[in-house]
Each structure stands twice: as structure tokens, then as C-alpha cells.
Chains A and B, each alone.
Chain A
Amino acid sequence: MKTYLPTQFVVERRADRCIQCQVCVRQCSFDANYYDAEDDEVRSRDEKCVGCHRCVTFCPTGALTVRKNPLEYRPNCNWTAETIEDIYKQAESGGMLLTGMGNDKSYPIYWDHLLLNASQVTNPSIDPLREPMELRTYLGRKPDRVEIDPETLSLKTKLTPQVAIEVPVLFSAMSYGAVSLNVHESLARAATEAGTLFNTGEGGLHKKLYKYGNNTIVQVASGRFGVHAEYLNAGRIVEIKIGQGAKPGIGGHLPGEKVSPEVAATRMIPAGTDALSPAPHHDIYSIEDLSQLIYALKEATNYTKPISVKIAAVHNAAAIASGIVRAGADIVAIDGLRGSTGAAPKVIRDNVGIPIELALASVDQRLRQEGIRNQASIIAAGGIRSSADVIKAIALGADAVYIGTAALIALGCHVCQQCHTGKCAWGICTNDAVLSKRINPEIGAERLVNLLRGWSLEIKDMLGGMGVNALESLRGNRLALRGVGLTDTELDILGVRMAGS
């Protein structure tokens, strides 16, 4: 069938610069650049280009640039290019539209409507270059109070397991299978060096990475891929994945092509078979079942590890989170509307769930109203882009945040949304033997550590500016925030006052 889909990008090649070296041909995994042997010339097939900039970045003479195809439809606010082309795609394929990365729609980004405070006159700002500034955070359930032996003044209360992180940013769940082993290793090494944690995602943990277990969150998802006693005990935290912000309410699908022998061994499935995780956990049909799984995992790990439960931010997230805490979870991770994915139905990614800012604010507030906020840590996820987003999330009430896309961007991701194709030219979201070598774990870890270091410095500067020297004094301190361009209802849900008030 002839496709009616127009070309998305145009590859422009400056003849005066191109030296016909064919680097662009070798770098492009989408066959957009090719060598025409007959004419002895390097050329491009614009219709194949996904706009990932791999060729542009690696062209030694700077001969290439990629532009959006200037082709215009008749202007129409209702029938945009995207809606028209989605219909072409489905008319030609008869299937669901698949996509990668997070929601790219123009829903409000509340982070960009929240502004931070700073000290002037009545309290001094603190200079982090000269004074200590503390970011350490402990994840895990906290009791209401501590008890002290009055004789010896020693601690009588025994706290349940607590995990220290030196920067309130963790690497979000990205499975081995969806991403390559080199990406997993980059994340694991960076987490270890920066004093934080990476999350295995639902595909198990490669044996080679067990040595980073102290900085690993091992995930248990509905497919139970790669879950066994040794795996559970290898990690520092065990996370039950109920939902994901990019695709609330549905399961996962790793196509057989990506299930290499190594992926298969780690997932404990035959090589080349599709790895399908069901939409629900088939042993969790309600909250009491979740409680059983939480305690089964606590038993399996001898009560040495906090248990996290990750949910997608949905309409009644506050009530669900309250139930999760009462069910025994030590950590609640909430993944918002803009959370990313290796592959998801586009209609779900773009239309299901709520923004993390609103979900986080309402969960924190609900847990406080019920007097149980201390019983679980909250990790906010889904679209965290910068240290400013991190610090705003903490002021709204998060203990820490997960970053997924931001971490991949640090590794080279250009957010071209081709994750589901397995052809990632940057070697990130692929298990192609050649492509995945494009990530060197040593360099990858260095780039990630640099990012976290930069963000830490920025967070310390902002904290000091607000006159506090410990992150816990900002956590849930919504007086540190003011809103701009928000309705009263939005301000009310965020628990934040209008700027100027």
C-alpha cells in the first residue's frame, strides 16, 4: 500500500563540506543516509530520518543539518498534522499506534508555574561555598516518635530499614531489555559513585551488575521477569511496580527481537520470545492482596529492605497511596502523566493519568491529614527535567525524585521517540549488538555523575538562598513556593499561594 505519510525531516548536506567519508551512513541506524556506489556519492533518504541528530553530531566536517520538513497542511486547529498522520498510519496498518518516550502534548507543566523563595533581610541566606549544606535523605518508613532508655539515654526504638541517598535523585526503572546492558551498567556505576540508587525495571538484574546491589532498587512487576530470591536480596530496596506514568492501566511488551540470549537468561525466559507483562498483577486484585505481596517480599528479604510500591498518577492517587501505606509499603513512588516509556500505545501515553505535580501535592496532603505521612517516603517521577523541578517537587512534599528521560539524555538520548523500534542510533534503547556498543559504561557513568553533581550544586545554592541548610527543612515546606498563572483551584490543590500574596 502506498503510504500517504509525508516526510518528517529533511537532511541537508553541504556539498562544500562533505568529504564523502560515510560516517553518517554508518551512524544512522534508520538507513536515512546511504552510499550510492554507482554515483560514488553519500546521499540521504529524508523519509527515513527520525531527527535523532546522530549523523549531525558525528559528521567530522559539520556538513549536515536536519530540519523539520517545511511541508504545510492547510492551517486547521482541529485537524493538526499529527491527527491527520495518525489516521494515515492506522488506515495503513490497522493497529494501535506505538510510541516511545513520555507524553509530548501541551498539558500544563506546573513546575513552570511555581516559583521559589529566597531570603532578604529578616533571615540571612546561607552561602554553600562557605557553609555546610545537607542533601542526605533516608528512604523508608519512620515511626511517629523515638523512645529513649531514660537510664542510658540510648535509643530503644528499632527503625525499619532506612536507605541513605546523598542526592535526592534516583534513576527511574528502565529494564534490561528495553535498554542495553551498557546503559544498565552506566546507571549502576553512576548511582554507586553519586550515592544514590538505580532501578532495574522489570527485566531482572544481569549477574555482572550484582556487585552494584547496594545502589540498586530491584523491581517486581506483573511479569515477574528475573525475580528470584537471590535477585531480591541483591538489591537495597524492592519495588513492586503496579503502574507506570506513560501507560497507566496496561502491561508491558518487549518484542522477541529484543530478547537476546543474555536478556533471556536475565529474564528467565526463552530467547527470542516476546516478554509480555500482564496489565494487572494476577495475584493482586485489591489492596489486601498488595499487602500480602509486600509482606511476602519482606519475608523473602528477612525484613532488611524497604518495600516500595510504584503507581501511575491517576485520578484517585491520594486514596490509593493512603491504602498502599496502610498495606505496609515503606515507600510510595508516583509516576506522573509525563513519565516515559520504552514502548506504549500512543493513545494511552497521551491521554491517561494526571500531572505529577498535582498527584504529589494531593498524596502528601492526604497522608498528612491522615497522620501517616511519616510512615512512607514519597518518590515523585515523570517529567523531572532539572534541579529546579527536583527542588520544587521536594517543596511540594516528595522525599526524592526519579529521573528516567533526563538520565538517558545525559547519555546522549535526543528524545526522538523511537525507543519502541529497537533501532536507537544512540545505542540506548536497543539490544542490537552493534548499536549498544555506542554506550561506553565508563563514559556513561561519568556523564551521569556529572549531571547529578551539577544538580546538587544548584540545589544547594537554592536551599542556601532560602536560608536553610538541610533538605528536610524544605521537604513539604510549600511556603517556599508561590504560583503564577494558576487558578484558585490549582493553587488550592498544590497547597501553594499566588505570587504576591
Chain B
Amino acid sequence: MIKPVATHNNPYGDDKVIAACSIFGVIDTSGKTFPGTDVVTAIANMHDRSNGLGGGFAVYGLYPEMADHYAFHIMYMTADAKRQVEALLKESFKIVKSEEVPTRKTERISNPPLVWRYFLDVAGNGDHPEADFVMEKVMAINCGVQDAFVFSSGKNMGVFKGVGYPEDIAHYFRLDDYLGYLWTAHGRFPTNTPGWWGGAHPFNILDWTVVHNGEISSYGINRRHLEMFGYQCTLQTDTEVVAYAVDLLMRRHNLPLEIAVKVLAPPLWSQIEREKDGTRALQIALRQVYGSLLLNGPFAVIIARTGQMIGLTDRIRLRPLVAGSKGSCLYLSSEESAIRLVCPDLENSWIPVGGEPIVGTVGKPIATTKSEAAVMARDH
């Protein structure tokens, strides 16, 4: 019996839930943590790109004192849902700590659900890979328990999201109390739904989070392909397939980032033909094998995982994404103004070419991509 999550998120039964949006992300590649004040200021500066029906944040380096435990943020709409989920968690995990996510009363947020966080150790998964075990439990809660939904399920990270403007969500969840070395943020403009807390961005599985601006026109086939690998797209939201696709490609299929992005936003055949033999063979094989995971249609996404933030647009760049850097910090944003507002002395800023990832990794210098070089050359 699968609960009708979609009825919350997609009450009219549309093919997929679509939303236009603002996205913002920042990582300090030195690994130093910092408060989210600037992130909230930046996303609030793009207020008009959202309509108050969804805002959210992902924070990495959030729970340093509990870094070895899976941190689950779970949303409950009823007390009974909490009882059921906790029984399920007790069966599968050792619960190290359990508490309510602190909130602040604000008139701008109405009817909030209860959001609880758990620090969990996996107990007794046999020889099953631990991440797969956790993923299955997340799917079990999301699909099996009425009125409960897992916001996030990674280690030393967490997702805070809900219905409201992002700055109001930040205020409500007291984000000023937290530090992180990587923050992503999202303001949502859904075209069709009244808004449901679980349907706000970021979307998460394990430590992957995705904030997304755009519409994945290939959603129908992306979803059917992921279903062959055990992913249930319960939310019927196109962003969900991005999170599952990166989990499949980078975690389960062990593809390096620079190769996985060639699946999501592959070069055109005409470009592939001009590549050197080895690269050409690889890129042809990627399109042959993973053609159903090509994310087609307009999108800009910020994908994050432990220690890494990745910006990516569709291959013909139909949605905005601006990158900026200063020192060890990399910024990604829908609008350059948001970056410059919080970092007036930005050292570099550029518009990535469609399909080329902008990557910030803790402990590594910020990559100067081909596209960066190309754009800078064009500018001068």
C-alpha cells in the first residue's frame, strides 16, 4: 500500500509538479564553517523569483559533533505518523539522539508541520551496503507512512524547507543559529500547487541535495529509467529525478563527477565527433547507455554533497546561472546581483557555458573551467 504522497504535492494529478525559481549556493573550499546570514540575504534579494509557496536551505557541516551519525530531518503532519516512523526507525537503526528542530514563531509562516531530527546509526544491515539500506528506509517512510516525509537523510548535513518565502523559512527554522561550510538555498514559484512542505526544495537522498530552477521536459523517461533501478518518484516533481540520477550515477555506478555531468547534460553529437578518440568513445558510450537520463529542457541546478557543490545548466543553457569566486569561496546564483550584494569585492564572476559543471570541492582550488577561460577571453 503506497500512500498518496502525490495528493499533497500534486493534488490535481499533473504529470509533474513544475516550478520556476531562484537558486543560490556558496561553499568555502577551505572547509571553514560560517553562518547563513549572507545566504539568506542573497536569496531574499531574488524575492520576486519566488511567490511564497516554497523556500528551503541545505547546510553541510551542520552537525560536527554528530558527524558520524545519519542525521534525519523528518516532517510530521500528525502525531500518529511520528509514532509509526519512530517504530520503523527503532527496528532499523540505533537512535543516538532525537529532538524537535527548533523553530521561532512567526506570523509569516502558517500551519507548519512538526519537524523532528534524529541522529541514527545503522544496526544490523548484514552485507547490504549501508547507503542502500538507508535509501530503502527513506523510501519506506516516504512511500509507506501517511503524513510523514523525510526532508534529509545524510551525515553532518540537513535540509530546512517549507511553504513560505525562503527568508521567512530561514527565520522560522532559526538558521542564524547554525554554521556550515556549504549552503544552498531556493525560492519557489510553483505554477500549479497550493504548496506542500515536502514539495519545497532542496530535494534530498542520503547526503545529496538538489535545488533546481526550470522544468525537466524529459521527466517522463528519466523517471521510467530510474524506476528500473529501484527509485520511486513519489513526489512527481521533476527535481526529484535529478537527486536520484546523481545518486545512481555517482554513488551506485561510481562515475566521477566530470563524467556524470556528461550524462545529465551531454555534448551534442557534432561536438562529440570532434573529440579525441578516447574521449569520443567515452562520450558516445555515455549517451548510448544513459540516454534516458539526459536531463532535457530548461534547467539550472545546484547539486551538493559532503564536501562538494556543483552548478550545472542544461546543455543549451535555457536557465540562468552565474558563478563567482573570491578566495576560497565559490558562489552560484540565479542572478549576479545576489552574489555581489553579499560579496561586493568578488574576484571573478562568469556565466558558465551550458552543460559545463562549476565545481567547488573542499580542499581543492576552485576549478577554472574551459568555459570560464572562453568567457573571459570573449570579455576581453
Contacts and interface: CB of A to CB of B under 8 A. Distances in A.
A138 interface: yes
A373 interface: yes
Contact of A374 (B15, B289, B298, B316): B289
A477 B259 contact: no
Interface in B135-173: none
A145 B251 CA distance: 12
B221 A475 contact: yes
B285 to A, nearest CB: 5
Given A146-B286, A368-B227, A123 B217 contact: yes
A150 B256 CA distance: 8
B215 interface: yes
Nearest to A142: B289
A333 interface: no
A136 interface: yes
A468 B297 contact: yes
Nearest to A481: B220
Contact of A154 (B282, B286, B288): B282
Given A123-B215, A123-B297, A155-B278, A477 B288 contact: no
Interface residues of A, number: 46
A78 B244 CA distance: 57
A331 to B, nearest CB: 14
Residue with the greatest number of chain A CB neighbours at <10 A, chosen from B13, B270, B294: B294
B359 to A, nearest CB: 15
B296 A124 contact: no
What is the interface of chain A mostly: helix, strand, loop, or mixed? Answer: loop
A470 B221 CA distance: 12
Contact of A477 (B18, B214, B221, B290): B221
A451 to B, nearest CB: 23
A476 B290 CA distance: 13
B82 interface: no
Contacts of B290: 146
B275 interface: no
Nearest to B215: A123
Contacts of B287: 138, 472
A148 interface: yes
Interface string B324-353: 000000000000000000000000000000
A124 B214 CA distance: 10
A140 B282 CA distance: 17
A149 B229 CA distance: 23
Nearest to B190: A122
A474 B281 CA distance: 24
Contact of A480 (B191, B220, B281, B318): B220
Interface residues on B, range: 35 or more
Contact of A138 (B215, B225, B288): B288
B20 interface: yes
Interface in A433-490: 466-470, 472-480
A302 interface: no
Given A155-B282, A473-B296, A162 B288 contact: yes
A371 B248 CA distance: 15
Contact of A124 (B225, B289, B292, B318): B318
Interface in B7-59: 13, 15-16, 18, 20
B174 interface: no
B217 A468 contact: yes
A140 B217 CA distance: 25
Contacts of B16: 479
A480 B278 CA distance: 35
Contact of A475 (B282, B291, B318): B291
B274 interface: no
Given A123-B297, A126-B316, A478-B220, A159 B285 contact: yes
B91 interface: no
B183 interface: no
A157 B298 CA distance: 31
Contacts of A153: 256, 258-259, 282
Contacts of A148: 254-256, 259, 282
A478 B218 CA distance: 10
A119 B255 CA distance: 33
Nearest to B288: A138
A169 B270 CA distance: 20
B215 A145 contact: no
A16 interface: no
Contact of B316 (A122, A131, A146, A479): A131
Contacts of B253: 145-146
Contacts of B255: 146, 148
Interface string B249-263: 000011110110000
B289 A368 contact: no
A134 interface: yes
A239 B189 CA distance: 51
B136 to A, nearest CB: 16
Nearest to B290: A146
Nearest to B221: A477
A119 to B, nearest CB: 7
A478 B287 CA distance: 20
Contacts of A146: 253, 255, 282, 285-286, 289-290
Residue with the greatest number of chain B CB neighbours at <10 A, chosen from A122, A131, A134: A122
14 contacts: A138-B287, A140-B288, A146-B282, A153-B256, A159-B289, A371-B228, A373-B228, A374-B228, A468-B297, A470-B296, A472-B221, A472-B291, A473-B294, A501-B13
Given A148-B282, A470-B291, A479-B219, 13 more contacts: A123-B214, A124-B298, A150-B256, A153-B258, A155-B281, A159-B288, A466-B217, A468-B217, A468-B297, A470-B294, A472-B221, A475-B292, A480-B220
